[in-house]
Structures are given as C-alpha cells and as structure tokens.
C-alpha cells in the first residue's frame, strides 16, 4: 500500500511546546498506518515544555533559514497540507507561507477554522483552502478522503484514539 504524507501546519510562535504539539500528536495517532503525519515540531530540543516558543531557537535547525528550508522541503514532499487555525489569536506568518506554497505546488489544503471571526479569515487565504472544516476530526477525515485513491484506504483511527483517551489508556491530546 502506498504511504501518504501529510504536513501538519498551524501556529507555533507564542504557544508552549505542548500546545503546539498536542493536536499534532492527536492527528498522528488518528491517521491510519498508510498516512504518515509530518510535524514541524519534530526534533526540536526544548528544555521547558511549558515555556512560550519563539520564532528561532539555539540549535542548528533553529535558525529562521533552517526552519524555512526544512518546513518547505517537508511540504514539497507531502500529499496534503492539514492546517489547524482553530483558536488562533495572532496571524501565523509561517502557516500563511506554507498555505501559499501548498497552493502554488497544487497540494490540497485542508484547514480547520471557525466559521467566522478567525484572525486568518481573509479572502486570499480562503482561496488557498481547498476544504474548510470546523474541527480537527473533520480535517482528519477529509484529508484522508482527499489523498487516498482507493475506497478501502479511506478510514481513520479517531474513534479508537478518542476511546483510549476517555478511558485514560492514552495521554490526553488536543480535544477532537
């Protein structure tokens, strides 16, 4: 079976490491085994998971140039871009850039965003979004439906992950 790659985009700056990565961990666990989530939070050495993240950090991969290069490379190799803009309080420049690049490369953009009032709700950004939904769960389902070519590949693990989280057999991540 073909392995699909989905780049997970969304605000990071100003969030804690945990806030920026919890929803990404949730999505990663909900994807079926043939869909691989690619997170910009991977391999980021942080000493305090509760400290707010800045744009750059002290690490060879932490410079603005390295962040841009790695994220762009990840996105160019992706089959889809899943964007979480839910609850954003300030515009995420990197996320907007990733959406523009995905649009330019004709990579489908699936975005979770409130129906109105989101700081990213802008006519140009709305044109770059191929599928706009109201929850992470819907974003997962629609991303899989967008990229998988065969009906038997279109399934997810959200019910199983939610059940394990509710029974305290899996750490709590971003709520669905």
Highest mean pLDDT among 46-55, 91-100, 143-152, 156-165: 91-100
Q: Is residue 51 part of a domain?
A: yes
Q: Is residue 176 part of a domain?
A: no
Q: Is residue 74 part of a domain?
A: yes
For 143, the domain range is: 4-166
pLDDT score at 47: 47
pTM of the model: 0.86
Q: Is residue 61 part of a domain?
A: yes
Q: What is the CATH number of the domain that holds 103?
A: 3.40.50.450
Please state, in angstroms and rounded to a whole number, the distance separating the CA atoms of residues 28 and 26: 5
For residue 49, the 8-state DSSP code is: T
Lowest mean pLDDT among 17-21, 43-47, 96-100, 125-129: 43-47
pLDDT at residue 78 is higher than 50: yes
Q: Is residue 175 part of a domain?
A: no
Domain count for the chain, please give it: 1
For residue 151, the 8-state DSSP code is: G
Q: Is residue 73 part of a domain?
A: yes
Q: Is residue 171 part of a domain?
A: no
Residues in the chain: 176
- What's the rounded mean pLDDT across residues 128-153? 92
pLDDT score at 176: 46
Q: Please count the CA atoms within 13 angstroms of the CA of 22 that sit on its side-chain side.
A: 15
Angle, CA 15 vertex, CA 66 and CA 33 arms, to 5°: 70
Q: Is residue 174 part of a domain?
A: no
Angle, CA 61 vertex, CA 59 and CA 65 arms, to 5°: 120
Task: State the average pLDDT for the chain.
Answer: 85
Helices (H) and strands (E) in the chain, counts: 6, 5
Express each pLDDT in 79-138 by its tens digit: 999 999 999 988 989 999 999 999 999 999 999 999 999 999 999 999 999 999 999 999
């Amino acid at each position: 079976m073909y392995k699909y790659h989905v780049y997970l985009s969304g605000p990071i700056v100003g969030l804690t490491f945990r806030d920026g990565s919890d929803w990404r961990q949730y999505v990663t666990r909900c994807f079926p085994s043939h869909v691989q989530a690619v997170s910009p939070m991977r391999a980021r050495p942080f000493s305090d998971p509760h400290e707010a993240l800045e744009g750059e950090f002290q690490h060879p991969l932490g410079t603005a140039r390295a962040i841009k290069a790695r994220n762009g490379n990840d996105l160019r190799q992706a089959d889809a871009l899943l964007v979480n803009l839910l609850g954003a309080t300030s515009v995420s420049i990197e996320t907007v850039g990733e959406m523009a690049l995905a649009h330019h490369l004709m990579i489908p953009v699936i975005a979770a965003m409130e129906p109105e009032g989101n700081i990213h709700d802008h006519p140009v950004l709305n044109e770059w979004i191929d599928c706009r939904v109201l929850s992470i769960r819907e974003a997962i389902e629609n991303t899989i439906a967008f990229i998988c070519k065969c009906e038997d590949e279109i399934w997810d693990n959200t019910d199983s992950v939610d059940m394990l989280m509710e029974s305290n057999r899996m750490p709590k991540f971003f709520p669905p």
